[in-house]
Chains A and B, each alone.
Chain A
């Protein structure tokens, strides 16, 4: 996936009404691109398998 630019990250943040300093924007761009890069291989995971329930389900548990 292509990396996001700092300007794109600023635009996303403005959409969500999230204030960012210039230093924030630079570092958030690196962090977000790291996230996207690290998660990219997950796109190729097989679609089947266990359902992505948020927490383990126990028959006699919660």
Chain B
């Protein structure tokens, strides 16, 4: 029911990209009110199972849609996201709207201002549909989600990936046009990968973190998830740029990211990261899909060869030492006074980081500098690096809910997977995840494209060229 939206005589597919929806609103072919109603209907029908949302801002969204429609009717100037329903990870502050960070500790937290990224999306005409589920405080490893277990739209026994769990699921299931997540060490790219959508980790410093509940100040990077790379470029264009309230944002002008989506990659030098693509941890179906994807890029005229980044197998542990230590520092007071309000998985992760010897943290920071240098050196000889986004398709939810009973199991569960997404985070580099196939279980697989700092346009261009040469992004989960 309502999988095709009827609006003013025009049939609109809820899986249509946000950029296309914005164009139809501008052309008066689609009503923002009908768009919002349609997504609310899908949320009502599907989100009881998927639990992508923590809060749905139903009345505020309908009110905003009426104003948006009025602006179209009056011929007022329209922003690039005018009338398009979006949703944001519940890590971003929203004025007057519950902002929980997925934790019981903030179960009643209502901010009095919007995060910069939320303010920019609404100023661009976007309509906030609600706040999306996540692993507690954006730390992957939640066992019991306080606001419901997010489920993968492709197979509801399987995990969505985190931490931006709802941001991935909501886009994949067309419960919003486009979403915003936050990527500390893979938290946009992993849910994008496992849910079969596009997700972009921007260059660190390109997007303001003001109003984003922090996990790791030196890695946190708000970024978009969309059903197309074009939608990621559209959102990035809106949220990027200097913000006086985040002094670590760069003062560079923001490029026209959508204009960069030319489909042209001829002559671009693509380096396939050997350790991640052909390593022992990588599932054969993932390796084969990524190798096939590099074949597509070669067919499009890119020059593809292999590159070795020897420190990458250490990236996961080095990242977690730094990220979790920064997080543990932020949470020390609550760990002492409200420990029982944390999910056990979050609490134990933060406790372990609290006890990490300082000298090992220093070594992890040294390793970060060396990984950053290896990534940067590889990007002197190559325009982009490619690798699997994850070493496997989405595992079952049960895979993450069993207690850890050995050192070996702890290492396997926490460090291996993170070696795939953390090199870009350690380097502060931009990276896109884009669907590149489906595994034997019918779950999505994903290609990761990493670029030079502030060359987000290049990684988006390569991702878009690949996406448009394949039809993986056109497939839909059966819900």
Q: A residues touching B (Cβ–Cβ < 8 Å)?
A: 3, 9, 12-13, 16-20, 23-24, 27-28, 30-39, 41-43, 45, 49-56, 58, 60-62
Contact = CB atoms under 8 A, between A and B. Distances in A.
B351 interface: yes
Contacts of A45: 363, 366-367, 370
Interface string B235-267: 000000000000111111000000000000000
Interface of B: 204-205, 218, 247-252, 314, 316-318, 320-321, 332, 335-336, 339, 344, 347-349, 351-357, 360, 362-370, 372-373, 403-411, 414-415, 427-428, 453-454
A-B pairs, top 6 by smallest CB distance, nearest first, are A38-B317, A34-B410, A31-B352, A52-B365, A56-B428, A61-B250
Contacts of B205: 55-56, 58, 61-62
A43 B456 CA distance: 34
B101 to A, nearest CB: 21
Given A30-B405, A36-B360, A49-B373, A60 B367 contact: no
A37 to B, nearest CB: 6
B407 A41 contact: no
A55 B205 CA distance: 9
A43 B363 contact: yes
Contact of B248 (A3, A23, A32, A55): A55
B356 A30 contact: no
B366 A42 contact: yes
Contact of B204 (A9, A34, A52, A55): A55
Contacts of A30: 404-407, 409-410
A45 B454 CA distance: 29
Contacts of B339: 18-20
A50 B369 contact: yes
B364 A39 contact: yes
Contacts of A24: 344, 347-348, 351
Contacts of B353: 35
A60 B366 CA distance: 24
Contacts of A50: 369-370, 372-373
Contacts of B248: 55, 62
Given A33-B407, A34-B407, A60 B251 contact: yes
Contact of B247 (A39, A51, A53, A62): A62
